[in-house]
Structure 1
Amino acid sequence: MSPEQKAGQVLLPFFTGTDAGAHAAVVERLHLAGAIIMGDNVPLDPQGKVDLAAMAATNKRLATAATADGRPWPGIIGVDQEGGIVARLNAPLTEWPSPMSYGATGSVPLTKEAGQGLAGELVPLGFNTDFAPDTDVTIGPADPTIGARSMSADPDAASSLGVAFTQGMLAAGVLPAVKHFPGHGSVTTDSHLNLPTQPATVAELAARDWKPFQAAIAAGAPMVMTGHIAVPALEPGVPASLSQPTYAALRGLGFKGVAVTDALNMGAVHKQYPAGAAAVMALAAGADLLLMPADVGQAHAAIVNAVATGSLPAARLDEAALRVATMMTWHARAAAGTGTPTGTPAGSGAALAAKVSAAAVTVLSGHCGGALASGAVRVTGGSPADRARFADAAARNGLALGSGPLVSLIPYGGRPAGGDIAVALDAPWPLQHSAAPIKVALYGRSQGAFDALAAVLAGTAPAPGKLPAAVGSYPAGTGCP
């Protein structure tokens, strides 16, 4: 491969809008690894739902562009689809609850099944990569970024559940990327905006944040994403994604796959390392795949120039390009060996997603067994869509609306609530200071999640979930017996 081809092989760019043709031309011209689909790239039908045929056509066009220079391995067509608040593809695809649901269920088999179900719906649309799961270990309400994207505050639970979800994705024919090494769940700044600092020692990180990555690596995870987090114990002031000691630590865990950066257009990096500087720094440090550089043309030119001038060793670019090419070759062979996965139809995971929510719903305070509300309830909070879904679920479970106990729905980022029954639809932290005597963690706002909630309120189903993280005075493990 030429230096230009190798430089392209390590770049996975974003684009704006839904004009895949224009972006495909860039992919072809710069020999790029492929493309990532963000929310604004998703074509919608007149009802505002994903236009499945158009999405598949977009991905096919980009995949064709990625192999236009004759490379025999497929291009990367990726997306961020975790479930919960991180979902680029909405209806008619299945709406999955927040990943913390898996921690609340404590079920490895159910988590693996969900990973396969979520990934299976991506395959017919032409996706072969999903930047999930998030295996960060959350520290609780002081964690402003990850929250319910984390499966658990317990490193061992986050490890087993993360491996299960990853194995499910691979079984569906989709490459996962465990993220965000060296651990984003225990820092208190949002890296989308600024650079967080991780004050922990290497020993502390190894005992907590690195455990899920160690487990994923031992299980054969093909890709690990590095986060934009400064770790003074490794390299003060430098984002982990651009830090040689961080990649050395990751390789020290036995990782031989592709190290991918978090998006390089995020504030934690782009503010300090503009133009192509971040791309060259990340490569020099040990990254293999550079996700979403702010300007892919500048990044490509900077890499080619850095190799030409000797400021980036040619062998380092060779190593990175070879790892990406090897992963995609392996992926193609694995798919061929099992019969190319055809995936599952959009929306086919709805029953499974509802099963996850029913197993996750957690009562922190309030009696277990029997109805929490009899006959009728009132509802406040949440969005109009949340309240509409609650109303549908209530009707199916014999609960009228308009009188009785007040159910307060707390949305993502919402504040503590009063009323008679407070329900957290995302991370459970707001329940800590909620005045309502009955507190319920739901970890989701899909119709299936609301059905699970209504069944618990009406006393027609138990609340089997256990808190996967402490909520104020409620320790991890709190829930109905």
Structure 2
Amino acid sequence: MSRAFVTGLKGTVLSAEERAFLTEAAPWGLILFRRNVESPDQLKRLTGDFRDAVSWQAPVLIDQEGGRVQRMTAPLWRKYPSGRRLAGAAGLAGDDRLIADVAHLIGDDLAAVGIDVDCAPCLDIATPDMTPAIGDRSYGERPDLVAAAGRAFADGLMAAGLLPVIKHVPGHGRAKVDSHHELPVVDADLESLASADFMPFAALADLPAAMTAHLVYTAIDPVHPATQSRVVIEEVVRGRIGFDGLLFSDDLSMNALKGTLAERARATLAAGCDIALHCSGDMIEMAAVAAEAPELVGKAAARAERALKARGGSPHDDPDGVLARLDAALAAYDAVAV
């Protein structure tokens, strides 16, 4: 039986040590980064070797948003625009299908190499002083437009057979510092958060998977970051927002979280995250996280099963037409933006 964590790997091939770890520790899934990506054939071997090691068709995740966050990129894969640029171009062109069609092509790229979960779309609302770590990954400042763009992107991924993971619930847009390096603290009142930050997540609460934010929201829990706050997860994510899908933590290796990796994993799972996400590929850290991850059972297992059933699709039937529309829309948008 799988255990309630997702792990990373160090490089482009599965080492003997990693294979033994995967077989013994039985993570629910694998997440890939640019350090793991060399070529299409190499990725097919890596994802296949991972699944051989865990002995089932386990999920393989990646962050493939477009823009700065695209692990599979040029020259072997097309470089897609950021969320902000894609949404802006689609809006200017009046092309209601463009975002979904582009996401479908991204999904096709991933499915072709054995990846079936995309940690996207990013539903964080843009604010004037937000950290550049979010920046143009956000679709914009208006909650309704962010929700619409996120819905279209998720629909496109699912049409390609990919499981989308909405992030970073309940909203990362007010963070002024990068949670990869330090813990952001958001002092906005609950009403302000509910009327803006939470809204895209509530609009997409029916989707099968989401990822938390490593942020402290002082109006909700002044001590614990959302990832490790039972109050935030129970009262806001599961309560106000109404999300009942599979809940991943953001990466436990990020410096916003304190303590050892074992302590971070323990606190994250105790707070109500279904899956602890650990990305570094460091074997000592991987073992520490695995030791804290219980077997995936109960509500978490049911959510995981529902999420995996959401997979299943087919390649887009007109990729050249989508790319032509995208290039034309981006050219018009960039001309106006300049």
* CA separation of 1:352 and 1:55: change in aligned 2, threshold 3 A: farther
Are 1:129 and 1:174, in contact at CA under 8 Å, matched by a contact in 2?
yes
Aligned-residue offset at 1:189: 0.9
The match for 1:357 is: 330
Are 1:120 and 1:344, in contact at CA under 8 Å, matched by a contact in 2?
no
* CA separation of 1:14 and 1:138: change in aligned 2, threshold 3 A: same
Are 1:101 and 1:357, in contact at CA under 8 Å, matched by a contact in 2?
yes
Written as runs of structure 1 = structure 2, the 5 A alignment for 1:454-469 is none
Code of the aligned partner of 1:114: V
Q: What do the CA deviations read for 1:419-478 (whole angstroms, capped 9, x no partner)? A: xxxxxxxxxxxxxxxxxxxxx1xxxxxxxxxxxxxxxxxxxxxxxxxxxxxxxxxxxxxx
Deviates more, 1:149-158 or 1:26-35: 26-35
Deviates more, 1:317-326 or 1:24-33: 317-326
Written as runs of structure 1 = structure 2, the 5 A alignment for 1:33-432 is 33-43=28-38, 51-66=39-54, 68=55, 74-91=57-74, 92-105=76-89, 106=91, 107-217=95-205, 220-248=206-234, 249-252=236-239, 253-269=241-257, 272-292=258-278, 295-304=285-294, 318-328=298-308, 330-331=309-310, 335=312, 341=314, 350-361=323-334, 363=336
Aligned-residue offset at 1:318: 3.3
Equivalent-residue separation in structure 2 for 1:187 and 1:85 (angstroms) = 18
Code of the aligned partner of 1:235: D
* CA separation of 1:122 and 1:150: change in aligned 2, threshold 3 A: same
Code of the aligned partner of 1:84: G
Q: For 1:261, what is the secondary structure of its paired residue? A: strand
* CA separation of 1:231 and 1:108: change in aligned 2, threshold 3 A: farther
Are 2:116 and 2:162, in contact at CA under 8 Å, matched by a contact in 1?
yes
Q: For 1:235, what is the secondary structure of its paired residue? A: coil
Unmatched tracts of structure 1, length 5 or more:
44-50, 305-313, 365-439, 441-481
Q: For 2:223, what is the secondary structure of its paired residue? A: strand
* CA separation of 1:344 and 1:25: change in aligned 2, threshold 3 A: farther
* CA separation of 1:13 and 1:349: change in aligned 2, threshold 3 A: farther
Q: What do the CA deviations read for 1:261-315 (whole angstroms, capped 9, x no partner)? A: 111101101xx121311111111111011111661211221345xxxxxxxxx9x
The match for 1:16 is: 10
Code of the aligned partner of 2:136: A
Aligned-residue offset at 1:34: 2.0
Are 1:123 and 1:344, in contact at CA under 8 Å, matched by a contact in 2?
no
* CA separation of 1:98 and 1:64: change in aligned 2, threshold 3 A: same
Q: For 2:31, what is the secondary structure of its paired residue? A: strand
Equivalent-residue separation in structure 2 for 1:63 and 1:162 (angstroms) = 30
Equivalent-residue separation in structure 2 for 1:113 and 1:192 (angstroms) = 31
* CA separation of 1:286 and 1:60: change in aligned 2, threshold 3 A: same
Q: For 2:299, what is the secondary structure of its paired residue? A: helix
- How many aligned residue pairs are there? 326
- 1:25 aligned to 2:20? yes
Are 2:208 and 2:306, in contact at CA under 8 Å, matched by a contact in 1?
no
Are 1:121 and 1:345, in contact at CA under 8 Å, matched by a contact in 2?
no
* CA separation of 1:127 and 1:303: change in aligned 2, threshold 3 A: closer
* CA separation of 1:352 and 1:94: change in aligned 2, threshold 3 A: farther
Code of the aligned partner of 2:60: I
Q: What do the CA deviations read for 1:194-242 (whole angstroms, capped 9, x no partner)? A: 000111122111111111111111xx31111101001111111311111
Are 2:44 and 2:114, in contact at CA under 8 Å, matched by a contact in 1?
yes
Equivalent-residue separation in structure 2 for 1:261 and 1:97 (angstroms) = 26
Aligned-residue offset at 1:59: 0.9
CA RMSD, aligned part only?
Answer: 2.4
Equivalent-residue separation in structure 1 for 2:19 and 2:321 (angstroms) = 30
* CA separation of 1:21 and 1:108: change in aligned 2, threshold 3 A: farther
* CA separation of 1:349 and 1:263: change in aligned 2, threshold 3 A: farther
Aligned-residue offset at 1:354: 1.6
Q: TM-score, normalised by structure 2?
A: 0.89
Q: What do the CA deviations read for 1:49-101 (whole angstroms, capped 9, x no partner)? A: xx2111111111112223x2xx6xx3110111110011111122111011101
**Bigger Cα Rg:** 1
Which structure has more RCO (C-alpha within 8 Å, separation ≥ 6)?
A: 2
Code of the aligned partner of 1:87: Q
Equivalent-residue separation in structure 1 for 2:334 and 2:133 (angstroms) = 22
